[in-house]
Amino acid sequence: MSSCLRLVSEQFPHLHDRVAWLFEREPLFRELCEDYEACRLALDRQEAAEALMREYSALRLRLETELLRFLHDAAVKSGGSN
């Protein structure tokens, strides 16, 4: 399992199956997962730059929102609740 897929699956454990399915089939979703991982890694590396931390935190939230929107749209299209 790729590290970005693992990270997104851990962030949204209740959507693990849908995350894995979309990751395998949707390049845009896979790219969002990769961006999310890069953002989280950057946040983990930051220490003192508070302004930069706020910026990355805001980016992380935007990416989480996009990931959830993608997951929701996929569920609506498939008629599933998972």
Rg (CA), the chain: 13
Q: Can you tell me the distance from the alpha carbon of 4 to that of 2, in angstroms, rounded to the nearest whole number?
A: 6
Domain ranges of the chain: 3-78
Give the pTM: 0.78
Q: Can you tell me the distance from the alpha carbon of 67 to that of 37, in angstroms, rounded to the nearest whole number?
A: 12
Mean of the per-residue pLDDT values of the chain: 90
| Secondary element (H or E) of residue 55 | helix 50-78
**pLDDT tens-digit readout, 23-42:** 999 999 999 999 999 998 88
